[in-house]
A = this chain, B = another copy of it.
């Protein structure tokens, strides 16, 4: 019997717990032993698990000092607390599986070093892309491939909002309210719609791909909250879609990484990634690209990723991530942009098209530096998106 502990018992943890129970014999067939959740760290220790087990504790030391527990699954939200939880677990020679993109992206090198120093493994498939197996496959691909480019749709909430606006022709605020009522969006949607969540996931994927640390603060970030139905309608008429896209590129040890709204045409492999789905495309040395897509969130989908990590670690097959490459942040992004401004706004840069629609002027710039573009837009009521066509 292999004992593990959960930190946190929210949606994802319930999914993982149920899969471990349901797939008991399949997991035993692989590992030779049963996996049992022995303790669950939880502030409120009243009650029992859904299968009636009294295993809640509010004292992390009980888990740390339990020599039978060899693996800890961290599924809390708090950044500082989770950093402490994970570090302490490593120091107590326990493997860690995490679903927490904030802590993995913020303390990437610290946590990996600590794991390796203590001879234990650290995996976090559930932190990126929900159900999609991408973190471990990427670790695998970079053995044989220089991966110099990644792009992806990594936030289900914002993708859901954009898809609903496109399909139903309703305004951003109406869709957001609806999504909040349905539980698809948080009451404070900032991290999702302003790209913070996407950015953390991009930091993790880029660091693994480039074999050098890409920090959260190295990534440019622009969200979707300025979008209006006029933008969606204008582009839909041309059969184009907007996606909140993460992208990073490495060239001669200099990287650029950005999260921003991007316009795709109907030939694009990510054009049909709609609703709460996520997708990641990696560009390798031995092939043009690999695309992975699936549900980006949810109890069982993300729980599936967690339990996959648990099985991989306990099978002893977890790979070690290398971050030995010296790479530096460049972040010079030049592209053609879609720009929507008030109709009397004077835009003095070169444009390849310009249309007046109601109160607005919609432009397509020629190639322009992203930062320059921002400096020019002094008006408050604007929306910009990169043409990836």
Contacts and interface: CB of A to CB of B under 8 A. Distances in A.
Interface string A299-318: 01101100110010001010
Interface residues of A, number: 50
A48 interface: no
A116 to B, nearest CB: 14
Interface string A313-349: 0010101001000000000000000000000000000
Contact of A298 (B274, B284, B287, B294): B287
Nearest to A300: B286
A230 to B, nearest CB: 23
A145 interface: yes
A374 interface: no
A144 B26 contact: yes
Nearest to A140: B308
Nearest to A137: B133
Interface in A252-311: 266-269, 271-274, 279, 284-295, 298, 300-301, 303-304, 307-308, 311
Interface in A138-168: 140-141, 143-145
A36 interface: no
A58 B273 CA distance: 50
Interface in A113-140: 130-133, 137, 140
A293 B287 CA distance: 12
Given A269-B293, A292-B292, A144 B287 contact: no
Given A315-B317, A317-B315, A292 B291 contact: yes
Nearest to A145: B304
Copies in the complex: 2
Nearest to A26: B143
A27 interface: yes
B290 A133 contact: yes
Contacts of A376: none
A148 to B, nearest CB: 15
Contact of A294 (B15, B131, B143, B289): B289
A266 B266 contact: yes
Contacts of A303: 286
A272 B274 contact: no
B272 A269 contact: yes
Contact of A272 (B27, B130, B267, B286): B267
8 contacts: A27-B144, A133-B290, A143-B308, A269-B293, A271-B272, A287-B295, A287-B301, A290-B294
